[in-house]
Copies of this chain bind each other. A is one copy, B any other.
Amino acid sequence: MTEFIPPGTRWLDLPSPFAMKRGGSLHGARLAYETWGQLDPARGNAILILPGLSPDAHAAANTGNPEPGWWEAMLGPGKPIDTDRWFVVCVNSLGSCKGSTGPASIDPASGAPYRLDFPELSIEDGADAAFHLVRALGIERLACVIGNSMGGMSALAYLLRHPGSARAHLNISGAAHALPFSIAIRSLQREAIRLDPQWNNGDYDDAHYPESGMRMARKLGVITYRSALEWDGRFGRVRLDQSRQEHDRRDDEDPFGLEFEVESYLEGHARRFVRRFDPNCYLYLSRSMDWFDLAEYCDAPCGDRGGDVLQALAKIRVDKALAIGVSTDILFPLQQQEQVADGLRAGGADASFLPLDSPQGHDAFLVDFARFGPAVRGFLDAL
């Protein structure tokens, strides 16, 4: 398994055994993380970032690794998440393959990779692992937990399972449970991987690798992370340049090959991803999102799912919260962030919902800094 762990990654050894929500436990597991800024003497200026499915812990350049990170425009001195003021911690999710323990890691019991012997992974396991890290860094109470996408789920699990662990919460394109439409898309992504004969029930290697399945899964991901509106302006109906060598371009030999720029864009994205993310880790993380449902924490189920989710959200105690969503997001639609704000407000938080008109869909927080920058800065500055 090819792992891509950024230089400068730091590790926390998790308690061993580390019990998993759905049963089983991990031995000798660790969590990869990076930090920015200085923890103040009162330890009151700490922010935890819980990322989406695929990112590593390298959200931005730091002393350990000067390379730009996946949220470079948002995180650093003077930036919206201002590291002159805040001490920021970002993790690689438990179950991932960018340094944290996951299905691609060595199982100490066998000396071989866990693969499908990794215990069933829940969003809650990742949240609990991050909580151990925060405590190990000497932080009793975070100033804010920021969660993006899947991380928005993790953040809610974190806050609910660890009362009093944070003063504020910023939920970005997250959700309190998975919707059936998103479950359907992720199920299809997993099916693409599982259908690839090279997946071989999880037992692949670099020479026999489920490349096609991963490529399909990633393309479907990229499609659903963006929006029709954005791509119309970006690609239109432009054809591939006939003079350039392109992979799989449509010609007499391959009449159904790639023809439009948008197809080539997807192909390029997918090719860059498939060997940089472990397929089994992808399956585990993807499934953990489908399973996530904060309504499980509702004390007195009212039988109405939306009501149960709101009840569970209202058990979370934070002083301030902001849930940001994007109107063109089809994967975590706007109603889900509104629900998060409503539920946290019902729990007593000063909670707001901010819908943004970004054309970039679910991924807008990774690219639309003109809208997300001021929104995040405004919320954090007022803490």
Considering the chains assembled together, what is the distance between the CA atoms of A188 and B212 in angstroms?
12
Task: Give a binary string over A212-228; 1 marks a CB under 8 Å from any B CB, 0 the rest.
Answer: 10001001100100111
Contacts of A194 in B (CB 8 A): 256
Task: Confirm or deny: A54 has a beta carbon within 8 angstroms of a beta carbon on chain B.
Answer: no
Contact B255 A116 (CB under 8 A): yes
Task: Confirm or deny: A258 has a beta carbon within 8 angstroms of a beta carbon on chain B.
Answer: yes
Contacts of A367 in B (CB 8 A): none
Partner among B183, B235, B260, B266 whose Cβ is within 8 Å of the Cβ of A263: B183
Contacts of A192 in B (CB 8 A): 192, 216
Contact A229 B333 (CB under 8 A): yes
A contacts with B, residue count (CB < 8 A) = 50
**Min C-beta distance of A34 to chain B, whole Å:** 31
Task: Confirm or deny: A338 has a beta carbon within 8 angstroms of a beta carbon on chain B.
Answer: no
Given the interface pairs A195-B212, A216-B216, A220-B220, the reply to whether A305 lies near B181 with Cβ below 8 Å is no
Contact B181 A266 (CB under 8 A): no
Contact A290 B256 (CB under 8 A): no
Contact A234 B188 (CB under 8 A): no
Task: Confirm or deny: A137 has a beta carbon within 8 angstroms of a beta carbon on chain B.
Answer: no
By Cβ-Cβ distance, the 10 closest A-B pairs, closest first, are A181-B228, A180-B262, A180-B235, A180-B231, A181-B231, A187-B263, A184-B262, A228-B333, A184-B223, A195-B212
